[in-house]
Amino acid sequence: MPIIYATHPLHPDAVALLGDAAELKVATALDAKTLAAEGHACDIVIVRAPLPDEIFAEGTKLKAAIRHGAGVDMIPVEAATRAGVLVANVPGVNAGSVAEHVVFSAIALLRRFRLLDRDLRGKGWLAARDYSLSNHDLSGRTVAIVGMGAVGKAIARAFAGLGVRLVGFSPSGRNYPDSVSRMALDDLIAASDILVLCCPLKPETRGLIDARRLALLQRGSILIHVSRGPVVDEAALIEALQTRHLWGAALDVFNTQPLPSDHAFFGFDNVIISPHMAGITEESMARMGTGAISEALRVLRGELPVNLVNPDAVEIHRRRFG
């Protein structure tokens, strides 16, 4: 029986979909040595943790590496391609969940919810009500979205009925929905009240938001980061928060994950931190899990994945596996 190797346990709906088509094994640890040793002898790996290049070394049985989600930066795609291992993902299935998180974060920051909740519990009713004098509406603000993939479009839809102006920038130059006005990146940043980062991590987006671009933001703006950590220069962001150039930030992704407990971000009352879970709910986990298993079943039947990321691997794959 073929073996599907998952870096993490799968949602019960995904396990039920797999049925008896393959044996499911879950990684015993997430270090590179364990993943390489355990995954090398399996047929398909479902990915929620960074894979080492060694998992695709000569003699690997792997036919496919399937991302449990959209971003494939956890998979060394070039190494997989050289080995004839198909790489696939399940884009868009958690886009709505991310969009809900972004809207929630924007409103929580504008209404200073962290401070209000803290002082209501610790200092009383009147201390909390004092924040009403400095809270802000979302309506009337400019929301700027960097990245117009499935997540960016979902974010635009989520904000569309809330009285905001929507502007966007796509690194690819494509995929702008009608509700979003297209702008050059620097112009977009300068015009934004709320800057939302949801672009993929690529060489051209690494360090995209640096000190120069943070300085372009209007004083009192908000940054919401649901992309990948290295898209933002964290040292520059810390400085922008320390100088109160930003009203606040909501950060779901970081250069180092898990985020160290002594990181400077924990010291700001105007920063909302979440542990890379903007797109994770029970419902989205079911959608991602069943989507990944559906792609795995296609590969086991000898078909190509619907969401194939590395078409250059197909010829090698067919030579190896027929």
> Tens digit of pLDDT for each residue in 192-225?
999 999 999 999 999 999 999 999 999 999 999 9
* Over residues 67-76, mean pLDDT: 94
CA torsion through residues 218, 220, 221, 223, sign: positive
Q: What is the mean pLDDT of residues 305-309?
A: 98
Measured CA distances, 203 to 207, 230, 239, 287 (Å): 9, 10, 24, 29
Domain with CATH 3.40.50.720 in the chain: 3-91+282-321, 95-273
Q: Which long-range contacts (CB under 8 A, 24 or more apart) does 280-283 make?
A: 280/94, 280/97, 281/94, 281/97, 282/11, 283/97
Global pTM? Answer: 0.93
Instruction: Enter the CATH code of domain 3-91+282-321.
Output: 3.40.50.720
The model's pLDDT over 123-134, given as tens digits with 9 standing for 90+, comes to 999 999 999 999
Residues with Cβ within 8 Å of 76's Cβ and at least 6 positions away in sequence, in order, are 51, 52, 53, 56
Residues 204 and 172: beta-carbon distance below 8 Å: no
Do residues 233 and 207 touch, judged by C-beta distance below 8 A?
A: yes
CA-closest candidate to residue 43, choices 288, 285, 293, 289: 293
pLDDT for the residue numbered 173? 79
In 255-293, which positions are buried (b, 16+ CB within 10 angstroms) versus exposed (e)? eeeebeeeeebeebebbbeeebebbbbeebbbbbbbbbb
CB half-sphere exposure, 194, CA atoms < 13 A: 27
| Confidence at residue 171, expressed as pLDDT on a 0 to 100 scale | 83
The percentage of the chain sitting over the pLDDT mark of 90, rounded to a whole number, equals 97
The per-residue pLDDT for 175 is 78
Average pLDDT of the chain? 96
Q: What is the pLDDT of residue 172?
A: 81
Give the pLDDT confidence of 157-189 residue by residue, as tens digits.
Answer: 999 999 999 999 998 877 789 999 999 999 999
The pLDDT, as a whole number, for residue 296 is 98
Report d(CA 134, CA 220) in Å as an integer: 12
State mean pLDDT over 104-111. 98
CA–CA gap between residue 24 and residue 288 (Å, rounded): 16
Q: Is the dihedral of CA 228, 232, 237, 238 positive or negative?
A: positive
Supply the pLDDT for residue 158.
97
Residue type, 168: G
CATH 3.40.50.720, applies to 95-273 = yes
**What does the pLDDT read at residue 272?**
98
List residues bridging with 93 in a β-sheet.
Answer: none
For residue 72, which of 200, 257, 171 has the smallest C-alpha distance?
200
The residues with which 143 forms a beta bridge, in sequence order, are 166, 194
Nearest-angstrom CA–CA distance, 307 and 172: 18
Give residues with Cβ within 8 angstroms of 23, minimum separation 6.
1, 2, 3, 4
Tell me the C-alpha distance between 239 and 49, whole Å.
30
Structure tokens at 214: 């943070």
Phi, psi of 6 (to 5 degrees): -110, 135
| Share of residues in the chain with pLDDT > 70 (%) | 100
- pLDDT at res. 291: 98
